Structure 1
Amino acid sequence: MRRVLLPHVISDAAPPAQAVLRELRGLSMGTSWSVWLAADAGTDLASLQRGLQQQLDDVVAQMSHWQADSDLGRYNRAPAGSRHVLPPAFFDVLMFALEVAQASGGAYNPCAGALVNLWGFGPTGRYDEAGFTAPTPARLAAACASLQQLTLAADQATRSVCQPAAVQLDLSAVAKGYGVDRLAYYLQAQGHQHYLVEVGGELRGAGVKPDGQPWWVALEQPPATGAQEVAPSPIVLALHGLAVATSGDYRRYFEQDGQRYAHTIDPRSGWPISNALASVTVIHPHCMAADAWSTALTVLGPQAGLQLAEQQGLAARMLCRQADGSFSETLSSAFSSMLDR
């Protein structure tokens, strides 16, 4: 039976009287983006398309660890002891990421790019390239020791950050969500209040469709990997003033010598997660927050993750693989309070 999630606050603002459903699409961040818009027939879609694409191009130019000439790429190559004035957006996203790192006890850490690279999930030395082998425990221990010792000194007044010693920033667990928010901010600045934005499966919605219905979206379910796996009953969400992001162990992984390694790395141990969590979904007003928190909760696991979700007031859903092939479902209080009973 399908379950329904409803936001606590619902605006009564109606779409334009002659609004029709418009759709815009593009490519960015190694994936696709989409915007569905309740707008009148006179909307300049070509100009809107260019503006939306520019928002994501700016995020990539500042925060991509896949492009050597991005602001992040230059920071990662900078000499030890240097200080760098960052673009405002880059600085703000990094500061938020560091807040989540502190609150999660290091379960999420934007400075853990070296570990991500060692496991072949970075831009070079990929796990899917010939000759790749999993890192040795000694290399992981050395990388973790360096990570624990570093201090990333930031100056709010000048929006500057030091490069203590070969720190490799990786904002992939937050930048895509921020990109979703950027698209939403741009639409609002152009006078559009009724839209659904998506980048690589992460979404944010506001207002309603031309027919007055909310933007209904189905929460992502992990795919079945065996004949006996039984998924929990599906959940649909009225994405009205909310964003949603899901982290899953099925997204990217590789197998070597009979061992399966997920792409989500625990910065505290240096190893890919192995806590049986199949997916974590977080609902939040901001997609950047939903993105980062879903990663942090995934690393923490079902017990510690739920505890942190309750402490932070996060609406979180955790699906854990069971020995019999089924999934157990754990919901935070904030998530359960949105269920239409």
Structure 2
Amino acid sequence: MRHVYIPTQITEPDALPSDARQCHLQGSTMGTTWSVQLIGHQGISIDFLQQGLQEKLDQVNRQMSTWDSQSDLCRYNQAPPNTWQELPEECCQVLDYAIYLARQTTGAYDPAAGKLVNLWGFGPQPRPSSLPNQDHISQAMSGPGWRDLQFDRHERRLWQPGGLTLDLSSIAKGYAVDQLARFLEAQHVPSYLIEVGGELRGRGIRQDQSPWWVRIEQPDAPSTDDVSEHLVALHDLSIATSGNYRQFIDVDGRRYAHTIDSSTGYPVLNNLVSVSVLHPECMVADALATAFTVMGDQRALAYANEHNIAALFVLQTDHTFSEIRSHALLAMLDE
């Protein structure tokens, strides 16, 4: 059976210009690809839009990349102990929400898990040929963490207590999607579908008056399992998916997921294989999908229901897949 999710309480799409034309732009960023399908008037400059979109993505990368040693994030991570470090406005916007969510989820979302991410081989350093031992894990977990993040939003600065290592990979991509959306709206583009490394945001309608339909990414499951194909109509809505089947390492015949639970120091070990979150802001959806993966299905479902978050959870028990939908997602469901 196919389930179709149509968001409720959305604004009516803007009317398309009478001389509407559809364009497809694309490029590379953050070790992945991006694409934008948009509909604008005939006189719109494709070169200007291509350049502007790429500049927005490059800006996010310059500020928040863990792979670029010259980024603002790496500069903070390498800063001397007991110093305030000034950060750009865009980076502060991401940090503001990241710290809020860390406190809301009691560290299930942890922007300060950079040492553990690197230790397990999911950062810029080469992946280890063997698993880290308990001493290395304990050492990475020692010292300052997310509870020690002192953020002066007014002065746009963050306290470096010494050895605190930020990693914003699980939120920066979603924020980049939002930045592209803001750029397009500033250029009066009435309709678009943005995708950066699998995270999406849409607005408006296509030339045939249909919405921007996208299929929720999820692991391959046998047709006999309780997992269905899902389509989402994206208008003023974003979707982000965290899937431990996508990024992992295999060591000694065992698979370790890329999502780290900083409360244990190990990759998450639960039966959640995929979490998709729908939200107007892709940054929020991106971070929540990671937090829910760490929480596990029951705690994540309770959080989603309490905070009215639309979320789809795909679980695997032995070789059988099933799914759970939050109340907010069920309210969108049209079967």
Task: Place the TM-score, normalised by the shorter chain, in its bin.
Answer: over 0.9
Question: Does the CA-based 8 Å contact 2:15-2:190 persist in structure 1?
Answer: no
1:170 aligns with one of 158, 167, 176? 167
Per the alignment, residue 208 of structure 1 pairs with 205
- Which amino acid in structure 2 is aligned with residue 204 of structure 1? R
User: What are the equivalent positions in structure 2 for 1:143-154 lying under 5 Å apart?
Assistant: 143-148=140-145, 151-154=148-151
Q: Secondary structure at the match of 1:73?
A: helix
2:259 corresponds to 1:264:
yes
- Which amino acid in structure 2 is aligned with residue 337 of structure 1? A
Per the alignment, residue 319 of structure 1 pairs with 314
- Which amino acid in structure 1 is aligned with residue 288 of structure 2? W
Question: Does the CA-based 8 Å contact 1:262-1:272 persist in structure 2?
Answer: yes
Question: Does the CA-based 8 Å contact 1:150-1:164 persist in structure 2?
Answer: no
- Whole-Å separation in 2 of the counterparts to 1:126 and 1:333: 40
- Whole-Å separation in 1 of the counterparts to 2:245 and 2:143: 29
Question: Does the CA-based 8 Å contact 2:120-2:132 persist in structure 1?
Answer: yes
1:336 aligns with one of 327, 330, 333? 330
Q: Which runs of 5+ in 2 are unaligned?
A: none
Per the alignment, residue 238 of structure 1 pairs with 233
- Assess, with a 3 A threshold, how the Cα gap between structure 1 residues 327 and 147 changes in structure 2: closer, same or farther: farther
User: What are the equivalent positions in structure 2 for 1:51-62 lying under 5 Å apart?
Assistant: 51-62=52-63
- Whole-Å separation in 2 of the counterparts to 1:233 and 1:282: 16
- Whole-Å separation in 1 of the counterparts to 2:121 and 2:223: 31
Deviates more, 1:154-163 or 1:173-182: 154-163
Per the alignment, residue 277 of structure 1 pairs with 272
- Alignment length, in residue pairs? 334
- Assess, with a 3 A threshold, how the Cα gap between structure 1 residues 258 and 228 changes in structure 2: closer, same or farther: farther
Q: Which stretches of structure 1, 4 residues or more, deviate above 4 A after TM superposition?
A: 147-150
- Whole-Å separation in 1 of the counterparts to 2:246 and 2:296: 17
- Whole-Å separation in 2 of the counterparts to 1:47 and 1:189: 13
2:282 corresponds to 1:287:
yes
- Which amino acid in structure 2 is aligned with residue 271 of structure 1? Y
- Which amino acid in structure 1 is aligned with residue 76 of structure 2? Y
Structure 1 residue 257: Cα displacement: 1.8
Per the alignment, residue 5 of structure 1 pairs with 5
TM-score (norm 2): 0.96
- Whole-Å separation in 1 of the counterparts to 2:236 and 2:146: 40
- Which amino acid in structure 2 is aligned with residue 122 of structure 1? G
Per the alignment, residue 299 of structure 1 pairs with 294
Q: Secondary structure at the match of 2:57?
A: helix
In the TM superposition, what whole-angstrom CA distance separates every residue of 1:225-267 from its partner, at most 9, and x where no partner exists?
Answer: xx79846110101001100000001111111122211100001
2:195 corresponds to 1:194:
no
- Whole-Å separation in 2 of the counterparts to 1:136 and 1:333: 41
Per the alignment, residue 39 of structure 1 pairs with 40
In the TM superposition, what whole-angstrom CA distance separates every residue of 1:266-311 from its partner, at most 9, and x where no partner exists?
Answer: 0111100110111000000000000000000000001111111112
Per the alignment, residue 126 of structure 2 pairs with 125
Per the alignment, residue 75 of structure 1 pairs with 76
Q: CA RMSD in A?
A: 1.5
1:134 aligns with one of 131, 135, 154? 131
Q: Secondary structure at the match of 2:116?
A: helix
Q: Secondary structure at the match of 2:266?
A: coil
In the TM superposition, what whole-angstrom CA distance separates every residue of 1:82-124 from its partner, at most 9, and x where no partner exists?
Answer: 1111101101101111111111110111011000000011101
Q: Which runs of 5+ in 1 are unaligned?
A: none
- Assess, with a 3 A threshold, how the Cα gap between structure 1 residues 250 and 96 changes in structure 2: closer, same or farther: same
- Whole-Å separation in 2 of the counterparts to 1:149 and 1:220: 30
Q: Secondary structure at the match of 1:321?
A: strand
Question: Does the CA-based 8 Å contact 1:116-1:265 persist in structure 2?
Answer: yes
- Which amino acid in structure 1 is aligned with residue 186 of structure 2? A
Question: Does the CA-based 8 Å contact 1:229-1:327 persist in structure 2?
Answer: no
- Assess, with a 3 A threshold, how the Cα gap between structure 1 residues 249 and 162 changes in structure 2: closer, same or farther: same
- Whole-Å separation in 2 of the counterparts to 1:133 and 1:150: 30
- Assess, with a 3 A threshold, how the Cα gap between structure 1 residues 64 and 229 changes in structure 2: closer, same or farther: farther
Q: Secondary structure at the match of 2:289?
A: helix
- Whole-Å separation in 1 of the counterparts to 2:306 and 2:115: 30
Question: Does the CA-based 8 Å contact 2:33-2:196 persist in structure 1?
Answer: yes
- Whole-Å separation in 2 of the counterparts to 1:20 and 1:230: 42
